[in-house]
Amino acid sequence: MPVNILGIESSCDDTAAAVVQDGILLSNIVADQEVHRKYGGVVPELASRAHQQNIIPVVDQALKTAGITPGELSAVAFTKGPGLMGSLLVGSSFAKGFALAGGIPLVGVNHLQAHILVHFLRHPGVEASMPSFPFLCLLVSGGHTQLVVVKDFLDMKIIGSTIDDAAGEAFDKCAKVMGLPYPGGPLVDRYARDGDGNAFAFTKPLIRELDYSFSGLKTAFLYFIRDRLKENEDFISHNRDNLCASIQKTIVEILTDKLEKACIQTGIKVVALAGGVSANTGLRERMNLLAREHGWKVFIPEISLSTDNAAMIAITGYFKYRAKEFAGLDSAPMARLPGDFS
């Protein structure tokens, strides 16, 4: 009997469902929420409401695309956190109802662990290349920036993390300063392609060990723009591409400087990226460059699996199902989860 896992993700502003069969991705559906764009960020109340509207059509579509009936499912996995409480409650309540109705186990998944385990998803008929254990993962999303030693599917240790803003937040906040809509990260990436990353220099933070900090950079960028606008009110429009390229280069260097340090400290040369910011072209290019320079074996998820999705929840659900790590029907989501993904 194949193991069929339905994954449900609703931690922020994407409602997603996916089906994985024995580790192979059969469907991956995401409904993003346009409604937040005009507010310049995610509005939690509106996100919960949109999840409520989207969740049944999205799950229905995921099952139909996979060609799997509810009766053929082995378990339902859902994001238990971290994330927005109102958003998490929609996905977890739906998953519980689904598990109860189908008489199948429920699996609670840590969203961050899931971003990392996306590297173990296989596609039908494709010979997969996967990281070997232990590997180092740079997990960069809108809410988190972490360096993680991955010892096994469900055995991970955080060795560095941001002390303030996340890398995605730095992209989004700098984009906002330039008047770009939310989420600004992908737009900064797009404009950076036509710009010169050396046009403007921004100071990189001096933070101990393997930790990160991005709030100083965001403030420095804000003051830099404010001062230039005093001299020239068209400064942003005249320099948009160079500004995007320069801020992107700085963020990417901050990220990879610590990654290089982590590789030296741990002796690990198998390196993976995960999380929404791993979609960034500059970061991807730099990773490939560093791979050649240091002899690293680098793994970068395809774009649709970098940003929030339910395929990552389903594959993590699959590993937890195999390990018999089930959640009770009384489990409740948590906006924050304790470290090391336990």
Q: From Zn ion, ligand KG4, none, which one binds at residue 317 (CB under 5 to 8 Å depending on kind)?
A: none
Question: By rule CB under 6 A, what string of x and - marks binding of each residue 103-142 to ligand KG4?
Answer: --------------------------------------xx
**How many whole angstroms separate alpha carbon 171 and alpha carbon 178?**
11
Identify residue 18 by its one-letter amino acid code.
A
By CB under 6 A, residue 301 contacts ligand KG4? no
State the virtual CA torsion across 51, 54, 56, 59 in degrees, nearest 10: -100
**How many whole angstroms separate alpha carbon 314 and alpha carbon 307?**
15
Q: Which stretch binds ligand KG4 (CB under 6 A): 71-79, 86-94, 101-109, 270-278?
A: 270-278
**How many whole angstroms separate alpha carbon 124 and alpha carbon 147?**
30
What's the residue count for the chain? Answer: 342
**How many whole angstroms separate alpha carbon 263 and alpha carbon 43?**
38
Alpha-carbon dihedral sign for residues 101, 91, 140, 339: negative
Q: Which is nearer to Zn ion, 246 or 306 (CB)?
A: 306
Among positions 138-157, residues that touch ligand KG4 (CB under 6 A) are: 141-143
Residues 6+ apart with CB under 8 A from 238: 232
By CB under 5 A, residue 13 contacts Zn ion? no
Which residue from 280, 300, 318, 319 is in contact with ligand KG4, where contact means CB under 6 A?
280
By CB under 5 A, residue 308 contacts Zn ion? yes
By CB under 6 A, residue 13 contacts ligand KG4? no
Strands 297-299 and 155-161: unpaired
By CB under 6 A, residue 246 contacts ligand KG4? no
Identify residue 246 by its one-letter amino acid code.
S
In angstroms, give the least distance from the CB of 128 to ligand KG4. 22
Contacts to Zn ion by CB under 5 A: 141, 308
Contacts to ligand KG4 by CB under 6 A: 12, 141-143, 168, 171-172, 183, 185-186, 189, 275-277, 279-280, 307-308
